[in-house]
Amino acid sequence: MAQPRFRKATIKDIAARCNVSTQTVSRVINNRPDVAPDTRRMVEAVIAEMDYRPSALARSLVQRNSYMIGVITAGLRYVGVSQTLDGITDQCEEAGYALLLKELPRYDTPTIIPIIEKLMAHQVEGIIFSAPELNENIKITQSQLPPSCPPIIFLKCQPNPNYTTISVDNQGGARKAVEYLLSTGRREVGLVTGPLEWLEARQRKQGWEAALRNNGIQVSDNHWTRGNWSASSGEAAFAELVQKYPQMNAVFMSNDQMANGALHYCSRHNIRVPEDIAIIGFDNLTESAYAIPALTSVTHPLRQMGTLAVDTLLEMIHNGVTLPARTIILETELVVRDSTPKV
């Protein structure tokens, strides 16, 4: 026997329960003044009880608003990008907004203006730029935004006094990682960075350098190398670093995928972790807790970045130009596991 399908409540259902017209329910939903207070309270109570949520399309037809937010992103195959998008999606749904998603064909797309213009053609009320800052891509975009551009927020980029930005303290997170390694007595700390075209790779490298220099340790080109964020590149880069920095007894890997590549290399070459070399990653991916040994990593609130972006953008949409640009930097934490010694 077929199971009955769940049916969402409609305006007609609300009207029937309250014994009022559908027009009255519509006026309550759209906060029209011509409804008696007792009737309004009754309708609002039934709306809450039946968990009724008007669609963005229905509201847009009534209120002349699109109830749509545009999102520009890149690299959806990466976990961090998808976590931020999850936060954006859930918060938009909670607020009753629809998403129009545009994924960049390449990370190094020289100008994003045509994509922004396409979003504007769909009457989006605001835009979240969620692609990472590479080379000059965000600066070029910011310098060319059309005057009629709706409110826009930039994620994962350098602060700009003219725009609201939300980013992670990558440099501070890297410093925490290296300072922890130093606190365990490890003084020969190498680095495998991501591609230095990426702002976050440069910031994490700066944090590694700052922590060492602040503790009186000189930094040499032999102490670091680079990968491309993937596990295989991390393994190859770590193997290179072992050869050119043989006294290395700890390493900061700029993301967890590359760190897992380093763990794989150590397993194949009988290098004990953390006895011979301590390893720290960045991102705190779920699977890193199940690595052998479990990976110590810097965690950062990527999902929170997405939810905060939506909340901030909606505030900008509802308040117009009265809100000044803001710079929001989210803190990181170090999650200590078995790939590093305990203090």
Residues 289, 324 within the same domain: no
In the 3-class helix/strand/coil scheme, how is 38-60 assigned residue by residue? HHHHHHHHHHHHCCCCCCHHHHH
Residues 74, 130 within the same domain: yes
pLDDT at 323 (0 to 100): 75
**In whole angstroms, how far apart are CA 234 and each of 83, 204, 258, 263?**
22, 15, 4, 9
CATH code, 283: 3.40.50.2300
pLDDT at 60 (0 to 100): 47
Domain count, the chain: 2
- The separation between CA 97 and the C-alpha centre of its own chain, rounded to angstroms, equals 19
Question: Alpha-carbon distance 220 to 247, whole Å?
Answer: 13
pLDDT at 232 (0 to 100): 97
Q: How many CB atoms lie within 10 A of CB 296?
A: 25
pLDDT at 69 (0 to 100): 94
Residues 188, 237 within the same domain: yes
Single-letter amino acid, residue 36 = A
Residues 224, 251 within the same domain: yes
- The separation between CA 282 and the C-alpha centre of its own chain, rounded to angstroms, equals 14
pLDDT at 75 (0 to 100): 76
Residues 163, 174 within the same domain: no
Give the residues of the chain that fall short of pLDDT 70.
1-8, 30, 53-65, 107-108, 110, 320-322
Residues 214, 290 within the same domain: yes
Secondary structure element (H or E) that encloses residue 330, with its range:
strand 327-330
In a domain, 318, yes or no: yes
DSSP string, 205-238: HHHHHHHHHHTT----GGGEEE--SSHHHHHHHH
Directed axis angle between helix 22-29 and helix 11-18, to 10°?
Answer: 110
Residues 244, 289 within the same domain: yes
Q: Are 146 and 138 in contact (CB under 8 A)?
A: no
Rounded to 5 degrees, φ, ψ at 194 are -80, -175
In a domain, 238, yes or no: yes
Q: Which domain holds residue 265?
A: 170-299
Tell me if residue 136 falls in helix, strand or coil: coil
Residues 230, 282 within the same domain: yes
pLDDT at 3 (0 to 100): 39
Q: Are 288 and 294 in contact (CB under 8 A)?
A: yes
Q: Is the dihedral of CA 195, 199, 204, 205 positive or negative?
A: positive
Q: Please write down the long-range contacts of 201-206, taking CB distance under 8 Å and 24 or more positions apart.
A: 201/226, 201/254, 203/170, 203/171, 203/174, 204/170, 204/171, 204/173, 204/174, 204/252, 204/254, 204/282, 205/174, 205/254, 206/171, 206/174
In a domain, 31, yes or no: no
In a domain, 77, yes or no: yes
Residues 213, 180 within the same domain: yes
Residues 274, 196 within the same domain: yes
Q: How many CB atoms lie within 10 A of CB 60?
A: 16
Question: Alpha-carbon distance 25 to 104, whole Å?
Answer: 42
In a domain, 41, yes or no: no
